[in-house]
């Protein structure tokens, strides 16, 4: 009889553990399902705009903000955003940034800043940004922890409007005119629009060079161009006798106190 009672008690414990296990499994599955459903409600939404600034060393900073809303029932913790900007004709990342980690409360919102930096003196394949307005592609990768222990990654994208500081830049050299002292007077016209959202302050150095690269004449044009302004200026350079421009070029450089940036040259006949 005793063995029968012990056997019955053991079976009762096993049934209780089985029921408890099923209850725990159902509760955990429900929790994960709710967490998973709530996680997909995360809403990343960029501002669609960016703040640009030109620093004294020739670095342009791009500050964008990703707006996040969490209508779910659990908080996101250690949430960070890794972002990359690619050129319109490129596939590999060109500029990259990582945000600080933030906590996004349940049924709350947050703004996460991203700061990119590019140097005008070393644009490389992005050199066209000096003279061409572009739409840049920004890819954002969100990762962190949700509902305490659920890791996640989410991809979103934005487009940034870039305004060139020397949009449609053009340097043109006119026909040389002989002077009584044997030199030649050469009119040079510099034109461009500052489509950037920052001011451009410094000088344009225009140089007439021979086919061998020797500088025959040069002149500085001081500029202090506000955003969305236009420059169209004709300067006069005096070419000494004996310096031929045949096969040479008109070279232009933007010079600021902390840096210098070459602009597209014009070949001379």
The rounded distance, in Å, linking the Cα atoms of 53 and 33 is: 45
Residue pair 235/219 in contact (Cβ under 8 Å)? The answer is yes
Give the pLDDT confidence score for residue 46 in this predicted structure.
Answer: 59
Give the pLDDT confidence score for residue 106 in this predicted structure.
Answer: 81
Give the pLDDT confidence score for residue 145 in this predicted structure.
Answer: 75
Give the pLDDT confidence score for residue 138 in this predicted structure.
Answer: 83
Give the pLDDT confidence score for residue 104 in this predicted structure.
Answer: 80
Cα 59 from chain centroid (whole Å): 12
Q: Residue 129, exposed/middle/buried by CB under 10 A (0-12, 13-18, 19+)?
A: buried
Give the pLDDT confidence score for residue 24 in this predicted structure.
Answer: 44
The rounded distance, in Å, linking the Cα atoms of 268 and 172 is: 9
Residues 112-142 have pLDDT tens digits of: 888 999 888 888 778 888 999 988 888 888 8
Nearest to 123 by CA among 148, 90, 78, 82: 90
Residue pair 132/164 in contact (Cβ under 8 Å)? The answer is yes
Give the pLDDT confidence score for residue 17 in this predicted structure.
Answer: 45
- Which parts of the chain have pLDDT scores under 50? 2, 7, 10, 13, 16-17, 19-33, 39-40
Give the pLDDT confidence score for residue 21 in this predicted structure.
Answer: 45
Residue pair 243/218 in contact (Cβ under 8 Å)? The answer is no
For the residues of the chain, what is the DSSP string, one character each? Answer: -HHHHHHHHHHHHHHHHHHHHHHHHHHHHHHHHHHHHHHTT-EEEE-S--EEEE-TTSEEEEEEEEEEEE-SSS-EEEEEEEEEEE-TT--S--EEEEPPPEEE-TTEEEEEEEEEEEEGGG-GGGGGGGT--EEEEEEEEEEEEETTTEEEEEEEEEEEEE--TTEEEEEEE---EE-TTS-EEEEEEEEEEE-SSS-EEEEEEEEEE-TTS-EEEEEEEEEEEPTTEEEEEEEEEEEPTT---TT-EEEEEEEETTEEEEEEEEE--
Backbone angles phi, psi at 90, to 5 degrees: -125, 160
Give the pLDDT confidence score for residue 141 in this predicted structure.
Answer: 83
The rounded distance, in Å, linking the Cα atoms of 93 and 118 is: 13
Give the pLDDT confidence score for residue 231 in this predicted structure.
Answer: 93
Give the pLDDT confidence score for residue 23 in this predicted structure.
Answer: 42
Region 167-267: CATH code? 2.60.40.10
Give the pLDDT confidence score for residue 16 in this predicted structure.
Answer: 47
Q: Choose the CATH number for 43-162 among 2.60.40.10, 3.40.50.300, 3.30.360.10, 3.40.50.720.
A: 2.60.40.10
The rounded distance, in Å, linking the Cα atoms of 206 and 265 is: 10
């Amino acid at each position: 009889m005793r063995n029968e009672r012990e056997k019955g008690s053991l079976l009762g414990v096993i049934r209780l553990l089985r029921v408890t296990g099923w209850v725990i499994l159902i509760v955990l599955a429900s929790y994960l399902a709710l967490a998973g459903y709530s996680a997909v409600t995360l809403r990343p939404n960029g501002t669609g705009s960016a703040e640009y600034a030109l620093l004294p060393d020739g670095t342009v900073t791009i500050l964008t903000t990703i707006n996040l809303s969490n209508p779910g029932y659990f908080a996101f913790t250690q949430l960070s955003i890794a972002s990359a900007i690619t050129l319109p004709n490129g596939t590999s990342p060109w500029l990259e940034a990582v945000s600080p980690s933030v906590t996004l409360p349940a049924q709350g919102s947050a703004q996460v800043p991203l700061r990119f930096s590019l140097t005008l003196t070393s644009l490389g394949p992005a050199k066209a940004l000096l003279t061409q307005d572009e739409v840049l592609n920004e890819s954002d990768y969100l990762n962190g922890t949700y509902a305490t222990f659920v890791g996640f990654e989410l991809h979103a994208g934005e487009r940034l409007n870039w305004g060139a500081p020397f949009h449609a830049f053009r340097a043109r050299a006119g026909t040389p005119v002989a002077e009584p002292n044997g030199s030649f007077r050469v009119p040079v016209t510099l034109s461009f629009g500052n489509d950037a959202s920052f001011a451009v302050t410094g000088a344009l150095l225009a140089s007439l060079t021979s086919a061998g690269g020797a500088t025959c004449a040069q002149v500085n044009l001081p500029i202090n161009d506000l955003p969305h302004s236009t420059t169209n200026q004709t300067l006069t350079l005096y070419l000494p006798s004996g310096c031929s421009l045949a096969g040479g070029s008109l070279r232009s450089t933007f010079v600021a106190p902390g840096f210098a940036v070459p602009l597209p040259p014009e070949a001379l006949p």
